[in-house]
Structure 1
Amino acid sequence: MKKLWPVLLLLVAACKQKEYNADLLVKNALVYTVDSTFTTANAFVVYSGKILAVGDIDTLEKKYFAREVIDAGGKAVYPGFIDAHAHFYEYGLGLQDVKLVGTKSWDAVVDSVSNYARHRTNGWIIGGGWDQNIWNNKTFPNKAKLDSLFPVRPVLLSRIDGHAAIANQAALNIAGIKPGQTITGGKIETINGKLTGILVDNAVGIVTRKIPPPTEQVTQAALLDAQQNCFAVGLTTVDDCGLPYTMVSTIAALQHKGALKMRLYVMLADQPENYEYLFKRGAYKTPGLNVRAFKVYADGALGSRGACLLHPYTDQKNWNGFLLSPKAHFEEVAKKIAAHGFQMATHAIGDSANRVMLKIYAENLKGKNDKRWRIEHAQIVAPEDVKLFGDNNIIPSVQPTHATSDMVWAVKRLGAERLKTGYAYKALLKQNGWMPLGTDFPVENINPLYTFYAATERKDLKGFPEDGFQMDNAIDRKEALKGMTIWAAKANFEEHEKGSIEVGKYADFVILDQDIMKIKGSALPKVKVLKTYINGVKVYEKK
């Protein structure tokens, strides 16, 4: 019996070694932690959905025995990417509609709509993504062809920026729109006493309010389809800008069931019922859903000449664009949002719109603060107004691909001199020392690696221009990575739970096939996501 004791002790020791004390060990990796000192590591450990330890593999393997081990094969690992400005649900709905992004002419748009209609024979025809700025004929189209093909069936096709649309006569009839009709904050185009079908900004809403709401089945399909595409590009959190309060329960229910794993930071739209909802119940916060902000629209888009400018458009005399609501409205909502302690995020493109909102913000924020009110886009800001961001800790939330998408035609809208201070991301970053980055998808591509490329190289996907666009306002790779991880988390008041690979934070991370911090700039758009993880659980793997 005495001879058996050593054997038994060895067996007991072996059994103890087999006790799991971690769920996942990632090793043989180049881990960009994006912590406060931007350190790198070669391994980390996950337990119960959170980062348990980060460091050297030899040390971690001695201390932790994980149920699953990932050998990254030397690949780079980053915190899960965060898109600080997007339209997640709208993008998902668009996946159910006719797709017009990249169409090269109005004829191509009509052909796409006709093909779609042959397969979807009932109901409204909804589509989006056309952009007259990339056509040979850069004027807005006319509805005549749509009227001929669809005399009874209503059609509404949104421009790529979502701030203009074309409707056929059937849709206009349903909405009750007449020639010469006017609307505050919008435009109903009438030429020679006839409607062209073109609607800008608030005019679009006259028609969209007549479209039957999507069914619960379509809504859920939209959210889940959007999720899968986002996982494939490494996104683990998305800021969805401008939803109705009714979507909160829909999203929460899908997340509770485990079907919707994407983390969402939801901004409610500037509508009375949304203010009433959030003011009454307070901020809504779960690990997957954060609702504590309101999205307000100051003006429209530069591409559709709805952005509100201090001086007239270079390519349209005596036209400055417009604010979408009276100034008094913005003053009122800013005051009540401040009084209730919520975050305000305002779409502002033109230098006039930015000036109006920056001054209203300043009146409510009263200097240095940590309320993290945001200006979304901040595309054209008068040089003398830039300091207002820093003086009041106002956060510029920018989308770098807008610069590289707009640069070819923006000079026509603004003129060369005014464009010099547009898309000034480096100048804006200096104001507070940090700045969140997003895509504004579906206006732009959902891929955050395109954001990284546009922010650092200031080129389009074809490598144009060769020397980059206004490179004095490019940001470096470290800043760009922070902008789509820890700084994006900070813009959402979530920097203590995500945005970096640090102990105690959610184990949201992505593995790429190349190291975006080291490869040539020209190679950045070709980088692929190999795997995406949320809570240490794989949600995407490249086939």
Structure 2
Amino acid sequence: MSSTSTRKSKKPQMRKTLFILGTTLAILSCSKEKVDLIVINSNTYTVNKNFEQTAAFAVKDGIFIAIGANEEITGKYQATEIIDAKKQTIVPGLIDAHCHFYRMGLQQQKVSLEGTTSYDEVLQRIVAFQKEKNTSFITGRGWDQNDWAVQEFPTKDKLDALFPTIPVAISRVDGHALLVNQAALDFAGISANTVVPGGEIILADGKMTGVLIDAAMDFIKLPDPSQKEAIQGLLDAQKISFSYGLTTVDDAGLDRNTIELIDSLQQTGVLKMRIYAMVSGDKQAQIEYYIRKGKIKTNHLNVRSFKIYGDGALGSRGAAMRSSYTDRENHFGALIYSPERYREIAKQIAASDYQMNTHAIGDSANTWMLKTYKEVLKNAKNRRWRIEHAQIISEEDFNYFDNILPSVQPTHATSDMYWAGERIGAKRMKGAYAFKDLLNKYGKIALGTDFPVEQVNPFLTFYAATVRKDLNNYPEKGFQMENVLTREETLKGMTIWAAFSNFEEDEKGSIEIGKFADFVILNQDILKISDDKLPKTRVVSTFLNGEKVY
């Protein structure tokens, strides 16, 4: 009886204890701040000032609001969604500091010639494309004669035979050379005697080959995409970019209509990608319009810069050189505009709040633009004017980069390394693709891909910058390794330094309290894995504003 009595007397006490415990837990739970997302058990590189790592963070209203240890975050916050990262690596949302986002999207609706190994393969793809699409004007992009057994520009003869009445215009991978057939030439009214300042019509025995360089391409008026095609192009580009962990892209050269379309799609939420839109400076009226309008800034769109073309590309020998090409006597490439015109543009932009970002490949183009920048800026600080590509720099010109920001694309080095030396010679190669030298001068470097000239994949950028080899481990000791970047420098160049180049370092580029919750979960630790594994890195998930977009 005593035993039974004891059990009965304990039951009310147990109920009371459980009630108190439950009430306490409820109170503690209610005392936690409610957030939208908590991530725990991660290997997160914050890319903050001290390049610290963390395990957990909390997101509310699209912003990082807390960063710390697992217990710290879970003890203070409760979330609608909790992600257990299971030790996977997380980095800030990646930024491509120089690409052609819109152009890449449109390319999805044209014949793709990337990776072709011969002119015959180019022709085969065009024939197959036309059989499927049956267009009235065939366009495409991506061929590169340097990847062919015969490394010479193609001619239009076979195109003329295949398409005697339908115009064909296919762009070289860098966008600085165009191959067209006779139907396209006739439509444009071009002849062998047409004068082209800032460009070239390639002739053979006095006859047009069909290859047009730089300004000569402007004679070919390609059909404008419909609004439906333009919107689809932007959405296609967004889908591809998110799959590679890109949350911000710097689109290098957009016209007003495209910028306004992007803004309208972003305002409605259809287009979520953050875009740093460089206004194309090829039209004076467009420069004047945006300077009058002033900077445009939303959480998804930033318009405060002009993209200017200084010269053409090295692959098509359009890059402006101080002395003739080693493999083509008395050929120097060319500036796109006169030196006076560059000075006029620079003075106009310098008098505004806008940034000037100039494409400069050859040593002559870089010399001229750097001197022009210095002249008009008069040592003004924090203007962050950029040289896009900064590909071949004369030794004495590196000092200009103490106040001029270099924006480079590491995969250009590993794409060009097979033939660049023959094109410009050993002496000039010392100042070519010199990423570390540029970083040391300015203190920061912005990294991009120039896609669709190169592949979108930012992990190929990471590999090219830190290993400087191709995917076949060539060259064995790396290409010009004195200019290799460390992994930490490279990640900064793809995040916080790229954000800085856009005047956006206070809102993105690192995982810090108060910044946009843009981050990427990776399948491996790119700061620690072996070199050969870097190109195999894959994105597990991409988050923008704390929302999973891939």
What range is the shorter-chain TM-score in?
over 0.9
Partner of 2:284: 272
Partner of 1:357: 369
The within-5 A match list for 1:457-536 is 457-536=467-546
The counterpart of 1:451, out of the listed 461, 464, 467, is 461
Point out the more displaced range, 454-463 or 373-382.
454-463
Given that 1:29 and 1:43 are in contact with CA atoms closer than 8 Å, whether structure 2 keeps it comes out as yes
Partner of 1:435: 445
**Paired letter, 2:426:** A
Distance 1:13 1:482 in 2: 43
2:175 is equivalent to residue 162 of structure 1: yes
State the percentage of identical aligned residues: 51
The counterpart of 1:317, out of the listed 305, 311, 329, is 329
Point out the more displaced range, 192-201 or 82-91.
192-201
Given that 1:28 and 1:71 are in contact with CA atoms closer than 8 Å, whether structure 2 keeps it comes out as yes
Shift of 1:488: 0.1
2:81 is equivalent to residue 68 of structure 1: yes
Given that 1:29 and 1:75 are in contact with CA atoms closer than 8 Å, whether structure 2 keeps it comes out as yes
Shift of 1:124: 1.0
Partner of 1:346: 358
**Paired letter, 2:248:** T
2:125 is equivalent to residue 115 of structure 1: no
The counterpart of 2:230, out of the listed 219, 222, 239, is 219
Shift of 1:6: 9.5
Q: Deviations over 1:329-382 (max 9, x none)?
A: 100000000101210000000000000000000001222510000000000000
Given that 2:357 and 2:387 are in contact with CA atoms closer than 8 Å, whether structure 1 keeps it comes out as yes
Q: Deviations over 1:60-93 (max 9, x none)?
A: 1110001101111101100010000000000001
Length-normalised TM-score, structure 2:
0.95
2:57 is paired with a residue whose SS is strand
The counterpart of 2:219, out of the listed 199, 203, 206, is 206
2:446 is paired with a residue whose SS is coil
2:345 is equivalent to residue 333 of structure 1: yes
Given that 1:236 and 1:534 are in contact with CA atoms closer than 8 Å, whether structure 2 keeps it comes out as yes
2:405 is equivalent to residue 395 of structure 1: yes
2:103 is equivalent to residue 93 of structure 1: no
1:361 is paired with a residue whose SS is helix
2:66 is paired with a residue whose SS is strand
2:549 is equivalent to residue 539 of structure 1: yes
Structure 1's unaligned 5+ residue stretches are none
Partner of 2:4: none
**Paired letter, 1:450:** L
Partner of 1:77: 90
Larger Rg: 2
Distance 1:16 1:424, change over 3 A: same
1:386 is paired with a residue whose SS is helix
Q: Deviations over 1:367-408 (max 9, x none)?
A: 251000000000000011100111xx1001000000000000
Partner of 2:29: 17
Distance 1:73 1:500 in 2: 21
1:408 is paired with a residue whose SS is coil
Give the superposed CA RMSD.
1.7
1:440 is paired with a residue whose SS is coil
Distance 2:514 2:22 in 1: 35
2:249 is equivalent to residue 238 of structure 1: yes
2:51 is paired with a residue whose SS is coil
Given that 1:92 and 1:226 are in contact with CA atoms closer than 8 Å, whether structure 2 keeps it comes out as yes
Shift of 1:211: 2.1
2:154 is equivalent to residue 144 of structure 1: no
**Paired letter, 2:451:** F
Point out the more displaced range, 271-280 or 60-69.
271-280
Length-normalised TM-score, structure 1:
0.96
Given that 1:20 and 1:67 are in contact with CA atoms closer than 8 Å, whether structure 2 keeps it comes out as no
Given that 1:267 and 1:294 are in contact with CA atoms closer than 8 Å, whether structure 2 keeps it comes out as yes
Partner of 2:47: 34
Given that 1:245 and 1:277 are in contact with CA atoms closer than 8 Å, whether structure 2 keeps it comes out as no
Query: Structure 1 stretches (4+) deviating beyond 6 angstroms?
Result: 3-6
Shift of 1:273: 2.6
Distance 1:372 1:61 in 2: 41
Q: Deviations over 1:144-167 (max 9, x none)?
A: 111111111111000011000101
Partner of 2:240: 229
Q: Deviations over 1:227-262 (max 9, x none)?
A: 111111110000001100111220011112212111
Given that 2:355 and 2:384 are in contact with CA atoms closer than 8 Å, whether structure 1 keeps it comes out as yes
Given that 1:180 and 1:193 are in contact with CA atoms closer than 8 Å, whether structure 2 keeps it comes out as no
Distance 1:222 1:15, change over 3 A: farther
Shift of 1:421: 1.9
Given that 2:155 and 2:211 are in contact with CA atoms closer than 8 Å, whether structure 1 keeps it comes out as yes
Distance 1:6 1:519 in 2: 50
Shift of 1:416: 1.9
The counterpart of 2:65, out of the listed 34, 49, 52, is 52
